Amino acid sequence: MKKYRIGTGTAAGRAAFARALRVLEAIVPKWPNVSAGLALPRASWIFLAVFAAGMALISLIGDQGLIAYRELRSEADRLRVDVVQMEARKIDLVRIIKSLHEDPDYIEQVARQKLGLVRPGELVLQIPPMSPLMSPPMSAPMSLQSPGN
């Protein structure tokens, strides 16, 4: 088979190019005449415009629209913050559990605070919290001298 260079201007080259075009035209379907324009009735254009506007509205407001996407994204960010806080709380709880298993001083501190336990021989003084109704009356400052002088 002879190879022809296209664009050389020879008759054989033009013939090869024409054959290649005929093969392509047979393989590729013909496109409609674009130069004629899209001659659609006015009702079709109105329908297409309403349909496009409806699709745009659905893409913004629908269940899977842009607004829902932004809400889900902010919720995901909030949940990520919650996960970080819970992981920090978990680390604290693991430290407390380890201290409860291994540290006798911590165990004693917890027993005193939570359970109110005391050692034998210790004296516990409980002072009730002062309510606003039981506050001492406002009086003049007391002097350092005894009342008889």
The domain spans of the chain are 1-30, 37-118
Within 8 A by CB and 6+ apart from 44, the residues are none
CA distance 91 to 71: 31
pLDDT attached to residue 29: 60
pTM of the model: 0.42
Within 8 A by CB and 6+ apart from 7, the residues are 13
Q: What is the pLDDT along the chain (149 residues), one digit of tens a residue?
A: 555 455 556 677 777 777 777 776 777 666 555 445 556 677 777 888 888 888 888 877 777 778 888 889 999 999 999 999 999 999 999 999 999 999 999 998 988 888 888 888 888 888 888 776 666 655 555 555 545 54
* CA neighbours closer than 13 Å in the CB half-sphere of residue 107: 8
pLDDT attached to residue 19: 78
